[in-house]
Structures are given as structure tokens and as C-alpha cells.
């Protein structure tokens, strides 16, 4: 399942002109104070059973060894915690040894994080152990956290005193500006909740850049950016932040020009040594969509060559088919993300992503008046489409088969790429919706694993003209997160297996994640026009 790249002595190539412009576009960060709206104690350390408390009693609630206090801030927030601590009893004769556990959803509070043994570093788990030598004390944590619930456990103390938490507050942080949100009239209560939760998800991921998740990984990923930007155009419309992120991707790249899958911004800008085939192609997609919103000639001139380079490199990874088409090699397809689905064969979907991305690249070329490039792109798109039909289409099963495997992912991306005719797309997506024929088995063996892929499923339904089915799926899938207690939409979610994780443990999952925010976009663009 792990998709990790480690390149020894990796040195990205930085382009000062682009990075200087990105620096000029750094957004101001907005702050407010959030205080808890409720509280409770867990009856045992890892028990989900709780005993409600009245917040007014907080200044008098004494915590002895092994006891805990859980504070509820009412909704998901991102920021810096300050605690005012005191004591009752005799003068403290030993430090207060406390554990702070930050939880994005309530289930995290009762998890034993010592049992986590996944492949992503446990250092992302939101916990702090502290010794407080002198009481009373006011403590502000230097690290930013993303959470709704805070669990304070008195790990050890002296028999002579007990700890009191007199006050807790969080200085929240985001670059989103709520004043910019449009007035959207949404009559349906569920659609309204989906929209508002999508907006909150996006807002909490809007920091110095469009982060993929404020808990983890807290950096800029290309696949997430494309979806965040789309949601931003429908909500906050802070387009300079999109431009900044595009310049960061263009400004720090692999030697040879490849756009990295993600970019670090601290302490300096540096492309990560991870390259994903499909993510690199989304650079052209995101640039074209940004230009559709802004007509920003400067961005077109600065980033056009970067976008075209990604397309051209992907085509060089293809080989000719017997009938004159183009086919992506198996080796290239292995570097595609597509989804976290186990054992997924990705070549058909990755080939479709090239065809899909060329649609946007052609618009860029025409906008640039680069008609020879537009003509070349049209030729390559047709060859790729021909190769897709020749190699992947199975006339007997009436679907696309990727190296022997039928998956919904292959069909979704082929439909998004307009490889089948419109009536064939409608028939294909209809069979997936109804889970009939080969798709009854395919959806069971290779399910859509993330809200990222569920978004593209909805988009494929819309592309096929199945608007009602698209809306129903959005309401069902993202609505099931709301039913499970979501304040912000999650990185990965299987309603049939709530504890599923691609990382080896749900405790490391992100419960406010960029690629999940798209109901805010879908509702305003397609269902409440």
C-alpha cells in the first residue's frame, strides 16, 4: 500500500523568478479565539464511555493521578493552544506530568496510540507529554494543532495536590476570509450541511498554502490543489493563493523539469522527491482552470512551458500500438496514484488521465496562440484515444480492462477523458451505479477508497449526463460522514468499514482533508446553479 519515494542526494532545481513571485503572493493569516463549549471525562483511559461535566465547574475540577478531562471546542479548529493551570491542596512538591491528546473526531480520544504500527511516522499523532514544574502556570504550545477535542490526562503527580485546568483557549489560524463567501441559498437541509462542511474543510486547509491536511501532511500536494482550487472558485475566491501554489510547483521541480507531487515551503521552498505520474499532469489542468477564472496573462506566460513539459514527458512514456495508437508503458503507470485501492491496476486509468489533461493543455495552447502546439496535442490525443480503445476495451464485457483487471477506476477516467461515445459513457456509468454485470464483483474487489476518487466518480456521472445519480452519490457518500459525526470531511472513508486506513491505523488518518472538500464546489456549480 505504501507509496514512498526516497531519492538519495535529491536536489530539486529551483527557479528564482517563479519563487520570488510566489513569495509576493503569500497570504495574510487570520486569527480568532476559540474556547471550549462542553466537557466530559472518560470513565477509563481508553474507554468511549463518558461522564458529562458542566464547564462552569472547570475552575474547581481537580485531577488526580490517572484522571482525565476532555474539552469539546464545538467544531474542528486549527491553531495554538493556551492552558491556564493551577492546583488545589498543599503546595506542589513534584511536577505535574500531563498528557495532551488532540482529536479531530471523538473516536480518537479512546484510541491507544501505542498500538499504532503503520508505515507513516507516528510523529504525526497529535500528542504532547509535559512536565509543569511550577503552578500556577500559563502554557502556550508552540506547535499548531488541528482538532475538535482535547484530552488532558494527569499522568502523575504528588499525593499532596491535584491539578486544576482553569481555562483553555485556542488562537485559530487560517488564510481564508469568511467575508468573501457568496450568499448561497440552499433549501435542502442535507445539501446545506454538505456545503457548509465542505467550506469548513477548505477553510481549515487554507494556510500559507492550500495544505492537504492541517493535521497531516501539512503541505502542498498537486492532486489536492486541483480540487481545492475548484472549491475555492465556488466559495472564497482567493485566487492569489491558487496562483501562489502554481508558482511554487513551477518554481521547484525535479532536475529535468518534472513537477513534483508535493512541495515543502519551510524552512525554504523545496520540491519533495516524490513524483506521481497523474499528479504531474494535473498541473496543466489546474493552470487552465485558474486562467478560466482570472484571465491572468502573467501566469500564462510564466507557467505555460512548465505545463506543456508535463504533457510532453507523459507522451514520451508511451509506445506505439499495432494499429497506430499510443499506449502508456506499464512501468510509467506504476508511478500513478489514482487511488489508495489495494492491488489496483492503474495503466488504463493513467492513460485516460493523459487524454483528459490534454483537453486542458489544448485550451492553454490556444490561449497562448500556440496553434502548432495545439495541433500536435490534438494528434496525440487522438492516438492515445485510439490506443485506449484498441488495448483496454473489452467488447464482450463492454468495459475497459486494465492488464486483465476490471475496476471502476478505469471506467471513471475513460469517461472523464471522453474515450467512449456519450451514449456509451451513460450506459457504462449506469451499470456501475446499479452494480450489475462485471461491476458487482469489481466494486467489491476494487472499491473507491477515498473521497478523492469518489469526487471523480461524481464528475464522471455528470460527464455521462447522469446528474440525478451524481447528486444521490454525493449525498449518500459525504452524507454518511456527517452521520458518523464529521465536522470536516475526511481523508479516507469507507461507510462499511469505519476504521479503514491505507496507512496501517486509523489514528494516523486525517479527518480534515483537502481532497474531501468538493461538495462545496459540486453543490454550487452543478446542483444549485
pLDDT on residue 301: 98
243: closest CA among 167, 311, 300? 300
**How far apart (Å, rounded) are the C-alpha atoms in residues 119 and 125?**
13
pLDDT on residue 4: 67
**How far apart (Å, rounded) are the C-alpha atoms in residues 232 and 391?**
38
**How far apart (Å, rounded) are the C-alpha atoms in residues 41 and 33?**
24
pLDDT 10s digits, 340-394: 999 999 999 999 999 999 999 999 999 999 999 999 999 999 999 999 999 999 9
Q: What percent of the chain has pLDDT over 70?
A: 99
pLDDT 10s digits, 13-37: 999 999 999 999 999 999 999 999 9
Q: Which helix (H) or strand (E) holds 497?
A: none
In the chain, the domains with their CATH numbers are 31-174 (2.60.120.260)
pLDDT 10s digits, 150-195: 999 999 999 999 999 999 999 999 999 999 999 999 999 999 999 9
pLDDT on residue 251: 98
pLDDT band at 47 (very low <50, low <70, confident <90, very high): confident
**How far apart (Å, rounded) are the C-alpha atoms in residues 93 and 134?**
9
pLDDT on residue 44: 83
pLDDT of 5 strictly over 90: no
pLDDT on residue 335: 96
Taking residues 259-273, report their average pLDDT.
97
**How far apart (Å, rounded) are the C-alpha atoms in residues 238 and 235?**
9
pLDDT 10s digits, 91-110: 999 999 999 999 999 999 99
**How far apart (Å, rounded) are the C-alpha atoms in residues 415 and 432?**
12
pLDDT on residue 1: 44
Cell readout for 250 is: 513551477
**How far apart (Å, rounded) are the C-alpha atoms in residues 499 and 475?**
21
> Does the pTM exceed 0.95?
yes
453: closest CA among 426, 491, 421, 502? 491
**How far apart (Å, rounded) are the C-alpha atoms in residues 406 and 394?**
10
Taking residues 249-274, report their average pLDDT.
97
pLDDT 10s digits, 482-521: 999 999 999 999 999 999 999 999 999 999 999 999 999 9
- For the ranges 38-52, 183-197, 424-438, which has the lowest average pLDDT? 38-52
pLDDT band at 59 (very low <50, low <70, confident <90, very high): confident
pLDDT of 406 strictly over 80: yes
Cell readout for 43 is: 470513565
Taking residues 46-70, report their average pLDDT.
90
Cβ atoms 527, 191 nearer than 8 A = yes
pLDDT of 529 strictly over 70: no
State the Cα angle at 196 between 194 and 198, rounded to 5°.
Answer: 65
State the average pLDDT for the chain.
96
pLDDT on residue 54: 86
* Residues in the chain, total: 529
pLDDT 10s digits, 326-341: 999 999 999 999 999 9
Amino acid at each position: 500500500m505504501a507509496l514512498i519515494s526516497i531519492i538519495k542526494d535529491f536536489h530539486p532545481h529551483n527557479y528564482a523568478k517563479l519563487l520570488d513571485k510566489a513569495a509576493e503572493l503569500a497570504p495574510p493569516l487570520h486569527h480568532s479565539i476559540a474556547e471550549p463549549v462542553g466537557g466530559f471525562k472518560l470513565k477509563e483511559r481508553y474507554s468511549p464511555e463518558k461522564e458529562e461535566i458542566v464547564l462552569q465547574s472547570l475552575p474547581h475540577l481537580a485531577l488526580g493521578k490517572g484522571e482525565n478531562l476532555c474539552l469539546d471546542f464545538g467544531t474542528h479548529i486549527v491553531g495554538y493552544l493556551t492552558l491556564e493551570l493551577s492546583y488545589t491542596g498543599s503546595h506542589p512538591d513534584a511536577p505535574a506530568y500531563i498528557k495532551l491528546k488532540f482529536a479531530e473526531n471523538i473516536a480518537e480520544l479512546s484510541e491507544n496510540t501505542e498500538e499504532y504500527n503503520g508505515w507513516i511516522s507516528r510523529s504525526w499523532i497529535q500528542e504532547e507529554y509535559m512536565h509543569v514544574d511550577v503552578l500556577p502556570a500559563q502554557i502556550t504550545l508552540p506547535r499548531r494543532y488541528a482538532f475538535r477535542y482535547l484530552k488532558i490526562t494527569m499522568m502523575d503527580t504528588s499525593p499532596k495536590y491535584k491539578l486544576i485546568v482553569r481555562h483553555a483557549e485556542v488562537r485559530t489560524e487560517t488564510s481564508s476570509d469568511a467575508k468573501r463567501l457568496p450568499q448561497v441559498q440552499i433549501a435542502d437541509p442535507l445539501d446545506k450541511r454538505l456545503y457548509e462542511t465542505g467550506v469548513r474543510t477548505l477553510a481549515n486547509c487554507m494556510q500559507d498554502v492550500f495544505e492537504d491536511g492541517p493535521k497531516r501532511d501539512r503541505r502542498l500536494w498537486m492532486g489536492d490543489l486541483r480540487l481545492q482550487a475548484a472549491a475555492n472558485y465556488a466559495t472564497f475566491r482567493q485566487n492569489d493563493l491558487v496562483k501562489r501554489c502554481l508558482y511554487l510547483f513551477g518554481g521547484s521541480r525535479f532536475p529535468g523539469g518534472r513537477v513534483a507531487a508535493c512541495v515543502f515551503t519551510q524552512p525554504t521552498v523545496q520540491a519533495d522527491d516524490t513524483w506521481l505520474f497523474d499528479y504531474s499532469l494535473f498541473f496543466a489542468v489546474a493552470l487552465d482552470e485558474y486562467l478560466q477564472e482570472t484571465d491572468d496573462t502573467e501566469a500564462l506566460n510564466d507557467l505555460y512551458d512548465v505545463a506543456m513539459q508535463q504533457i510532453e514527458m507523459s507522451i514520451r512514456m508511451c509506445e506505439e500500438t499495432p494499429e497506430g495508437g499510443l499506449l502508456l508503458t506499464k512501468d510509467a503507470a506504476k508511478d500513478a496514484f489514482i487511488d489508495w485501492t489495494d492491488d489496483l491496476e492503474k495503466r488504463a486509468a493513467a492513460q485516460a488521465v493523459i487524454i483528459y489533461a490534454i483537453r486542458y493543455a489544448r485550451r492553454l495552447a490556444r490561449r497562448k496562440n500556440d496553434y502548432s502546439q495545439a495541433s500536435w496535442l490534438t494528434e496525440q490525443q487522438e492516438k492515445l484515444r485510439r490506443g485506449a480503445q484498441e488495448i483496454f476495451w473489452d467488447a464482450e464485457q463492454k468495459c475497459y480492462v486494465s492488464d486483465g483487471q476490471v475496476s471502476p477506476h478505469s471506467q471513471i477516467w475513460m469517461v472523464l477523458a471522453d474515450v467512449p461515445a456519450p451514449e456509451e459513457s451513460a450506459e457504462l456509468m449506469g451499470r456501475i451505479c446499479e452494480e450489475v454485470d462485471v461491476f458487482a464483483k469489481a466494486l467489491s474487489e476494487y472499491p473507491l477508497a477515498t473521497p478523492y476518487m469518489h469526487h471523480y466518480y461524481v464528475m464522471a456521472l455528470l460527464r455521462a449526463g447522469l446528474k440525478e445519480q451524481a447528486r444521490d452519490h454525493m449525498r449518500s457518500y459525504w452524507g454518511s460522514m456527517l452521520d458518523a459525526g464529521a465536522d470536516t470531511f475526511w481523508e479516507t472513508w469507507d461507510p462499511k468499514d469505519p476504521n479503514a486506513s491505507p496507512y496501517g491505523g486509523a489514528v494516523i488518518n486525517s479527518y480534515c482533508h483537502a481532497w474531501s472538500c468538493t461538495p462545496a464546489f459540486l453543490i454550487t456549480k452543478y446542483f444549485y446553479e
